[in-house]
Chain A
C-alpha cells in the first residue's frame, strides 16, 4: 500500500471502495502528517477528534452502501467557512473564540457527501491578502523552497488550504476566491484550484469579504479531484439570493481529453511589463500543448484589463467596509473594555483588526463617502461592466482563455510587505475574471529555474466549468507535473 497521504482523492475513493483501507486509516495518516508539518502553520484550529469521529461515521455509511461523492475523504476547511461547534475566526483577532451555531452551506454539502474535516485552514485576515501574511494566527509557509532555503509564501488568501494540500496533509481543501485567493495560491503551491462561476456555490455561512466577488472553490492535487469536490459543494441555495438555479453537472465527466477543434483565446493584454521570461515561456508551452492536442489558438483582446486592479481595489474594499461593520464588539467576538460606547467601538476595531483589514476598511469608507461615491464607486461599477463585456466579446471568438495565473512564483515571506500596491499586483491576472464573475482554474504546469511551481490559468464562459475541467485535464496530462515540494522531500529523507 502506497503512502496514503500521497494518493489523489480519486485514488483514495477507489481504495476505500475496494476496502484497501478505511477512512479512519486515511484520516489518521493525514492527522499524523499534519502533526509532522506543524511548522507550515496551515491550520488555525485542528479538529483531530472530530475528524476521527467523522471518519468512523463515514466508514459505517460506506459499509451500509450509502457512500457520497467524497465519502471518507479528509479535507482542510478554510477558516472563513462557519462550522457548527468549531471555532471560526476568518484569521482575525476580532473573531477569536467565535463558535458558530450553524454550518455553512458549502461545508454542509461537503460533509453530506462524506467529506471529513481535518481542521480550519489558515488564511489572510478576512481573506484580504495575497501572501497569507495578514493572519492574526501567523504566516503560513509554503512547503516549496528554492535553493536559498528561505520560507516562501503559499500565496493568499487561501494560503493554509493550498499549503496543506501541497504538503500532503490534506487531500483537498476548500478555498474562497474574491480576486484570486484560490488560483494564485494554487499556482504558488503547485496544485490545482478552481474558482467556479459567481453563484455556483452558496455564500451562506461564509464570512463575507466582498459579497459581489466572493465565491467558494476547491484545491486538490489533480484536476479530477477538483471536479469531484466542486460537484459535492455546489448547488442552488435558497438562503443565498445570489446563488443561481443551475443544475450541477458531473464535472469530472467533462474530462474526455478531447479538445479537438476547441478555440483557445490568448488575451494580448496579459503580457505585462516585468513578467519573468519563464512565465512567458510556460504560457507559450501551454499554447503548444493545446495546439498539439488539436485546439485552435485565437488571439483575443480584453482592452479594459488594465483597469481591473484599480476597479477591484475600489469595489472590494467598499463592500468590505460595510460587511465588516458587524464586528463591533457588541454581539460576539473580541470586545475592548471601555465604558463609553464610542470608545469601545474604536478600541475594539483598532485592536481587533490587523493593518491590511483596516487599510481596506478605510479605502472602502472613503470611496463610498459623500462627494466621492460617483467618482470612485459608480465609475468602478461602470468599468466592471466593461470588463465583463470584454470577456463576452472574446467568447464570440473562443471557448476558453489561457493565461498565466500569477506574474511570479512564490516569493520569500516579507517581500512586497513594504508596498501594498506591489502586493496587489499579484492578482493582476486573476482579478478580471473575478470582476466578471467567471469561472477560472489554475493548473500546475511547470517549475521555474529556482524550482518553484508555476501555474496556468483557464477562464471559461459563465456556468461552463466543464470547459475548465476538459481543457485543464489536457494541460495536466501534457505538463505531467510530478515534482514534490522540497520541504516534503527533506522530511521523507
Chain B
C-alpha cells in the first residue's frame, strides 16, 4: 500500500528507514556489573568501568549476547557466528571513555524481516538490515546549575540493540505499525521492555521523498522521536518540508535533524559536512565474539510463540478475523488470557467478550488486563452459561457488570439473583396466554396486519419473566398463539 502524497507538481512517495535503539532487558550493563534499574538517584549505578577510570577494561555480558541473539531470531534474522566490537570515537561529557563501544562492520545479527499489520487490514513485510549491540551514553543535565552542566552516568554502559530497517516503510501509518510491531516482538521475547517514555526504546527516522518508481532521494535523519505518535507527526512534517523544497526546485540536504515535539517541527542539528569522523576500529580490549550454531539453536528453543505466529494460529485454529486476532495478540498476556477463556468455549464468543466487553470496560476505567477483577476462568464460566442456554446474552451483560463490581463467579451471581433462563415451555406458555388475554386490542391490530407489534408481545413476556425467558421459546409460542 504505497501511500502517495499529492504535491503541487505531482505525486510523491515517502521512503522511510528506521533505526531503533532498544535497551536490552538485563540486570547489569553491557560491559560491567553495574545495575540498570530505571529511576535511581544520579550516579548511583556507575562502576569504575562505566566511569572510564584509568586502566579499566570492559568484560562482555554474556546474557546480553543471548538476548541479542534471541531478538535476532525473533526478527527472523541471520545470526552471525562472528561479530566484532569496535570503538566509535567522539568527545562528549556524557561519554566517559571518549568512545562508544559498538559494532560496526561485523554486527551480531544480519538481515531478516518482520510483518506489519496495516490499518486497512493488509499485511506487509519490512526488511531488517541488521541488529548490533552497543553501549548507551550517560545523560547531560543542563538545568541543575546556572552556569554548569551536570552528568549522570547511570545509563552509561547500558546495553542497547540498534535495530536498523530497510527503507521499506512508506508513510507515517506504516512507520507507526512497524514501531508497534517491533515493540510487540521485543516484549514477547522479553529482550526489551519497550517503554518509550522511559527512554528504553528510541527511534531515529531516515526519510526521503521520490516520485513513484524513481530512485531514492536524498534523506534526512530525524532524531529524538520518542513515541509512536511523535514518529507519525515528525514524518508528516518532514515529508511536507521536503516536498516544498523539492517542488521549489531545491535539494534536500543530507543532515541530522531534531524533532521538536513542543513546536511540532524538525530542525537541523548538523550537516553531512559537520558529521563526526568516528574513527571506528576494533576494540583491542575485546576479542571477536564467536557464537556457535549449537548456542544459537539452544536459544532458539527458548523462544516463545511470536506475535505473527500467534496471529496466524488464532486465525486458523479459532477462525478469528484478522482484526480480532491482531487485537488479541497485541500483548502476550492478552493473548494468553484469551486462550484461557476460549479453552472449551466458543472461540468467537470468547474473542467478542474479551475484546468488546472486558477490554472495553478496562480501557474505559484506565485499567490494564493485569488489574482485571474478572479472571480468565471467571469469564470462561460466564460464556459457558451463555453457550448452554443457562442465561441469555442480554442477561450475561448484567451478570458481567456484577462480576466486574464484585469479582464473584457468574454461576454464583446467576444462582443468587435467580437469573437462570426459563426454558420450561409450559411456564412460558402460561405467561404468553396471560399477556394475550390482557391485550385484546393489540392482538386485533397485530392480526390486522401490524406486524411490528410482535416486538411488543415479546417485550411484555420478557418483562413478566424479568428477561429470563428463553427468547427462542417465547418467539415460537407467540407465533403459534397469535397465528
From 58 to 78 in chain B, residues with beta carbon under 8 angstroms from any chain A beta carbon are 58-60
Residue of B nearest to A88 (CB): B54
**Do A328 and B98 form a contact, CB below 8 Å, given A242-B287, A345-B91?**
yes
Central interface residue in A324, A339, A341, by most chain B CB within 10 Å:
A341
The residue in chain B whose Cβ has the minimal distance to the Cβ of A339 is B147
- Chain A contact residues: helix, strand, loop or mixed: loop
Q: Does B57 contact A (CB under 8 A)?
A: yes
B54–A328 touching, CB < 8 Å: no
Chain A hits for B57, CB < 8 A:
203-204, 239-241
Q: How many angstroms between the C-alpha atoms of A492 and B195 in the bound complex?
A: 74
Closest to B31 in A: A241
B3 CB within 8 Å of chain A: no
Q: Mark B255-291, 1 if CB is under 8 A from A, else 0.
A: 0000000000000000000000101110011110000
CB atoms of A204 and B281 under 8 A apart: no
A104 within 8 A of B: yes
What residue in chain A is nearest B60 (Cβ atoms)?
A241
Q: Are A368's CB and B287's CB within 8 A? A: no
Does B97 count as interface, using CB distance less than 8 angstroms? yes
Q: Is B56 an interface residue (CB 8 A)?
A: yes
Structural contact, B59 and A203, CB atoms closer than 8 A: no
Q: A325-B98, A369-B277 are in contact. Are A241 and B54 (CB under 8 A)?
A: no
Which listed residue, A205, A325, A330, touches B89 by the CB 8 Å rule?
A325
Contacting residues of chain B (274-322) with chain A, CB-CB under 8 angstroms: 277, 279-281, 284-287
B48 at the interface (CB under 8 A from A): yes
Q: Is A100 an interface residue (CB 8 A)?
A: yes
The residue that B98 contacts in the complex, of A211, A239, A326, A332, with Cβ under 8 A, is A326
Q: How large, as a class, is the contact surface on chain A?
A: 35 or more
Within 8 A of B (CB), among A90-129: 90, 95, 98, 100-102, 104
A102 in contact with B48 given A207-B55, A325-B99 (CB within 8 Å): yes
* Chain A hits for B355, CB < 8 A: none
- For A330, the chain B residues whose CB sits under 8 A away are 93, 96, 151
Query: Does B114 sit at the interface, judged by CB under 8 A?
Result: no
Is A102 a contact partner of B285 (Cβ separation < 8 A)? no
Q: Is A142 an interface residue (CB 8 A)?
A: no
Task: Note all chain B residues with C-beta closer than 8 A to A28.
Answer: none
- Decide if B435 is an interface residue (CB 8 Å cutoff): no
- What does the 1/0 interface line of A316-349 toward B look like (CB < 8 Å)? 0011011011101011100000010100010000
Which B residues are CB-close (under 8 A) to A203? Answer: 55, 57
- Contact call B281/A212, Cβ cutoff below 8 A: no
Q: Enumerate chain A residues within 8 angstroms of B196, measured Cβ to Cβ.
A: none
Q: How far is the CA of A102 from the CA of B54 in the complex (A)?
A: 10
Question: B468 an interface residue at 8 Å Cβ cutoff?
Answer: no
Cα–Cα distance between A361 and B13 once the two chains are bound (Å): 47
Q: How far is the CA of A179 from the CA of B144 in the complex (A)?
A: 46
A203 to B55 alpha-carbon distance, docked (Å):
7
Residue A206 lies at the interface, judged by CB distance under 8 Å to chain B = yes
Contacts of B98 in A (CB 8 A): 322, 324-326, 328
Shortest beta-carbon distance from A106 to chain B in Å: 10
Contact of B54 among A100, A318, A370 (CB under 8 A): A100
Is A307 in contact with chain B by the CB < 8 A criterion?
A: no
Do A90 and B54 have beta carbons less than 8 Å apart? yes
Q: Are A318 and B287 in contact (CB under 8 A)?
A: no
Query: Across the interface, do B55 and A332 meet the contact criterion of CB distance under 8 Å?
Result: no
B51 at the interface (CB under 8 A from A): yes
Question: Distance (Å) between the CB of A358 and the closest chain B CB?
Answer: 15
Which residues of B, 106-150, contact A by the 8 Å Cβ criterion? 147, 149
Q: Point out the residues of chain B lying under 8 angstroms from A211, CB to CB.
A: 284-285
A369 to B89, CA, bound (A): 10
Whether A206 pairs with B59 at a CB distance below 8 angstroms is no
Per the bound structure, the CA–CA distance linking A95 and B285 in Å amounts to: 22
Q: How far in angstroms is the closest Cβ of chain B from A181?
A: 16
Q: Report the separation of the CA atoms of residues A324 and B52 in the bound assembly, to the nearest whole angstrom.
A: 11
**Min C-beta distance of B87 to chain A, whole Å:** 5
CB-CB under 8 A for A369 and B279, given A212-B284, A319-B284: yes
Q: Are B58 and A326 in contact (CB under 8 A)?
A: no
User: With the chains together, A239 CA to B285 CA distance in Å?
Assistant: 11
Q: Does A208 contact B (CB under 8 A)?
A: yes
- Given A325-B98, A328-B98: A241 in contact with B281 (beta carbons within 8 A): no
Decide yes or no: A204 and B89 within 8 Å by CB, A325-B98, A368-B279 being known contacts: no
The answer to whether B54 and A82 touch across the interface, beta carbons within 8 angstroms, is yes
B53 beta carbon closer than 8 Å to chain A:
yes
Check if A313 is an interface residue, CB within 8 A of chain B: no
* Residue A137 lies at the interface, judged by CB distance under 8 Å to chain B: no
**Partner pick for A331 among B51, B149, B284, B287, CB 8 A cutoff:** B51
Tell me how far the C-beta of A312 lies from the nearest C-beta in chain B, rounded to whole angstroms: 14
Complexed CA–CA distance, A96 and B436 (Å): 106
- A241/B286 in contact, CB under 8 A: yes
Contact A322 B277 (CB under 8 A): no
Task: Kindly supply a per-residue 1/0 record for chain A positions 60-98, scoring 1 wherever the CB is within 8 Å of any chain B CB and 0 otherwise.
Answer: 000000000000000000000110000010100001001
B residues in contact with A332, CB < 8 Å = 53
Asked if A365 CB lies within 8 Å of chain B CBs, one says: yes
Instruction: State A100–B51 Cα separation when bound (angstroms).
Output: 12
The 3 closest A-B CB pairs, nearest first, are: A325-B98, A211-B284, A368-B279
**A–B Cβ pairs within 8 angstroms, 18 of them:** A100-B53, A204-B57, A205-B56, A210-B284, A212-B284, A238-B59, A240-B57, A241-B58, A241-B60, A242-B284, A242-B285, A324-B98, A328-B93, A330-B151, A331-B51, A331-B96, A341-B93, A368-B281
Extra inter-chain contacts (7) besides given A208-B55, A239-B57, A325-B91, CB under 8 Å: A100-B54, A210-B284, A322-B99, A322-B279, A368-B280, A373-B279, A373-B281
Interface residues of B (CB under 8 A from A): 48, 51-60, 87, 89, 91, 93, 96-99, 147, 149, 151, 277, 279-281, 284-287
Q: Which residues of A contact B (CB under 8 A)?
A: 81-82, 88, 90, 95, 98, 100-102, 104, 203-208, 210-212, 238-242, 318-319, 321-322, 324-326, 328, 330-332, 339, 341, 345, 365, 368-370, 373, 377
